[in-house]
Amino acid sequence: MKDTYTFARRLAVAGLILLLFASLFYLLLHHAYFFLLVMAGILAAVMFSGMADWLAAKAKLRRWLALLLSVVFFFGTLAGAFWLVAPTVGEQVQELRETIPASLSQVQEWLKGRSWGERLVDQLPQDMEKALPEQEKLVTGLTGAFSSTLGFLADLLIVVITSLFLASSPTLYTQGLVRLFPVRKRQRLLEVLAKCYSTLRKWLVGMFLSMAIIGVSSAIGYSLIGLPMAFALALIAFLFAFVPNIGPWVAGVPAVLIGLTAGGQMALYVLLIYGGIQMIESYLITPIIFKRTVDLPPALLLFFQVLLGILQGGLGLLLAAPILAVAMVLVQELYVKDVLEEAPGEV
**Looking at residue 30, what is its pLDDT?**
66
**Looking at residue 345, what is its pLDDT?**
53
**Looking at residue 131, what is its pLDDT?**
47
Cα(239)–Cα(96) distance, rounded to whole angstroms?
Answer: 22
Smallest CA-to-CA distance from 276 within 293, 255, 301, 297 is with 255
**Looking at residue 69, what is its pLDDT?**
93
**Looking at residue 146, what is its pLDDT?**
42
**Looking at residue 157, what is its pLDDT?**
87
**Looking at residue 45, what is its pLDDT?**
93
**Degrees (nearest 5) of the Cα angle 67, 69, 75?**
100
**Looking at residue 72, what is its pLDDT?**
92
The DSSP line for 54-112 is HHHHHHT--HHHHHHHHHHHHHHHHHHHHHHHHHHHHHHHHHHHHHHHHHHHHHHHHHH
**Looking at residue 17, what is its pLDDT?**
67
Q: Residue 229 in 3-state DSSP?
A: coil
**Looking at residue 141, what is its pLDDT?**
44
| pTM of the complete model | 0.72
User: Mean pLDDT per segment of 10 residues, for the chain of length 347 residues?
Assistant: 63 70 65 83 92 89 90 87 68 59 60 55 51 46 49 81 90 87 88 92 88 89 85 83 80 80 80 86 74 75 83 82 89 83 58
Radius of gyration of the chain measured on its C-alpha atoms: 26
Classify the C-alpha dihedral 140-142-147-152 as positive or negative: positive
**Looking at residue 132, what is its pLDDT?**
46
